[in-house]
Amino acid sequence: MKIALDAMGGDYAPEVVVQGAIEACKEHPLNVILVGDMKTIKDHLPGNGDLPRIEVHHCKEWVRMDESPMKAVRRKKNASIRVAFELARDGEVDAVVSAGNSGAVLAAAILTLGRIVGVERPAFASIFPGRKGNVILIDVGANVDCRPLHLFQFGIMARAFAVSCLGMQAPGIGLLSIGEEGSKGNELVRQAHNLYKSSDLNFVGNVEGRDIFTGDVEIIVCDGFVGNVALKLTEGMADAVTEMVEKELNASLPRDKEASPGAGLLRRLRKYWDYQEYGGAPLLGIKGVGIVCHGGSSPKAITNALLMADHYAKNNVSQRLSDEMQQFKSQENIFSMK
């Protein structure tokens, strides 16, 4: 598998992104094409820049975090994220990974690869560490204003991903709401609830914010505004808790911190809540593979995202997703309810 990595995307690009590619290729049988400014990238490659299984594809532009994604992707024909997806479109690579502007990833993916037939809105899925197992939250930011049908399709897409990429068996789908009864929630959720109920999906009903951490339901569906708020809230709370535990341990446990039991706790707490462990959010619903990582990704996070992209491509998730969409498309009664 060959993966295009947007070398210019992310808070610490290109240095940390390049470092992630180097570590990934050293430890795993991956081929990576770094897409971005040749000179800047080469500055961060060791020696003369000739590394096994790492290539550089030069392009002179990129999309900044504060740019309007759609406008920037359309205007900058040589932007790294756009060029990366063009490599995928042309069959040069099997997947694209970026820690840059997630809106630009979405725009470039749709512009170059296009949506899978039947998919109204591609969506970002994020994997949370539930107590009983992983939980997929979808959408975490691609679509801030949704219709009920979009929420319904998110469930179908997440299921295809869960089964073909994460190895889940018949995952349950829950709708994120503010009470378990179908009558609870806002207008969007109440209508989406009815769509799910009339389908033959493994719909478990409404779930609440706390269910993201239990693992009782494998897939939790929400609009991209709610999902993104949830994602950032979780990150903020993880930071707050870790800081608090660290302060307490420093004050009360033995001075030899690394050897103390508290140090182990802190390490595991960090690891547990660390988004870097989970390798980024796949964009479901495009004709190909696109993974977006946190802007502040470390080399390790980039490595994990590359591994996820590799796994996603190998398991033919897009084909599976396309098959599922075809199957549901025939249920006209549902798809006519927009």
List residues near a copy of itself by CB under 8 A. 66, 68, 131, 141, 144-145, 176-178, 181, 183, 185-187, 189, 208-214, 222-226, 228-241, 243-245, 248-249, 252-253, 261-262, 264-265, 268-269, 272
CB nearer to a copy of itself: pick between 118 and 209:
209
The C-alpha atoms of residue 116 and residue 112 are separated, in whole angstroms, by 12
Q: Which one, 66 or 332, has the nearer CB to a copy of itself?
A: 66
Cβ 325 to a copy of itself shortest distance, Å = 25
Least separation in angstroms between residue 36's CB and a copy of itself is: 24
Least distance between a copy of itself and beta carbon 272 (Å): 7
Rounded CA separation 18/5 (Å): 9
The residue assigned the tokens 């994460």 is 166
32/231 with CB nearer a copy of itself: 231
Q: Are 151 and 192 in contact (CB under 8 A)?
A: yes
In angstroms, what CA-CA distances link 298 with 15, 174, 211, 216, 250?
10, 32, 28, 30, 25
Beta carbon of residue 156, minimum distance to a copy of itself (angstroms, whole number): 22
In angstroms, give the least distance from the CB of 123 to a copy of itself.
14
CA distance 191 to 323: 25
Which lies closer to a copy of itself via its Cβ, residue 183 or residue 330? 183
167 vs 210, which CB is nearer to a copy of itself?
210
Residues 6+ apart with CB under 8 A from 287: 113, 114, 115, 116, 318, 322
If the CB atoms of residues 27 and 248 are measured against a copy of itself, the closer one turns out to be 248
Task: At 112, list the tokens.
Answer: 């170059």
Instruction: Find the shortest distance in angstroms from Cβ 80 to a copy of itself.
Output: 21
Torsion of CA 203, 207, 212, 215, to 10 degrees: -50
